[in-house]
């Protein structure tokens, strides 16, 4: 569903940017978009989405923090993350050396 909405929005933006119909057509599209945006059903969905994000934000933040701690512990090689910065990885040469004659 999200892809379809983005496609329609992209078509509208492309039309507005590419049209040669002039200001009148632009004003018609603008008023239609504002009418749609101000529709109570659309605003209800916008409010629902905002409420959903507010409810889920703490869970997402905790999930990301836990994931970051796991990555830090894997990179540093320890069980618990430390405050000290991790040492940069040393790079070994992968080129083949030819034997001297």
Q: What is the pLDDT of residues 2-38, one digit of tens each?
A: 788 888 888 888 777 776 667 787 888 899 999 999 9
Q: What is the pLDDT of residue 11?
A: 85
pLDDT digits (tens, 9 = 90+) for 34-74: 999 999 999 999 999 999 999 999 999 999 999 999 999 88
Q: Supply the pLDDT for residue 82.
A: 52
Q: Inform me whether the pLDDT recorded for 86 exceeds 60.
A: no
CB 36 within 8 A of CB 29: no
> What is the structure's pLDDT at 52?
92
pLDDT for 76 equals 85
**SS3 state of residue 101:** coil
**CA dist 25 → 19, 22, 85 (Å):** 9, 6, 58
Token pair in block for residue 45:
């969905």
């Amino acid at each position: 569903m999200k892809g379809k909405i983005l496609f329609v929005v992209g078509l509208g933006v492309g039309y507005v940017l590419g049209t040669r119909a002039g200001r009148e057509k632009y004003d018609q599209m603008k008023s239609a978009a504002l009418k749609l945006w101000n529709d109570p059903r659309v605003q209800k969905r916008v409010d629902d989405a905002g409420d959903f994000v507010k409810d889920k934000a703490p869970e997402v933040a905790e999930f990301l923090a836990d994931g970051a701690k796991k990555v830090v512990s894997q990179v540093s090689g320890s069980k618990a993350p430390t405050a000290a910065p991790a040492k940069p990885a040393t790079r070994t040469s992968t080129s083949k050396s030819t034997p001297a004659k």
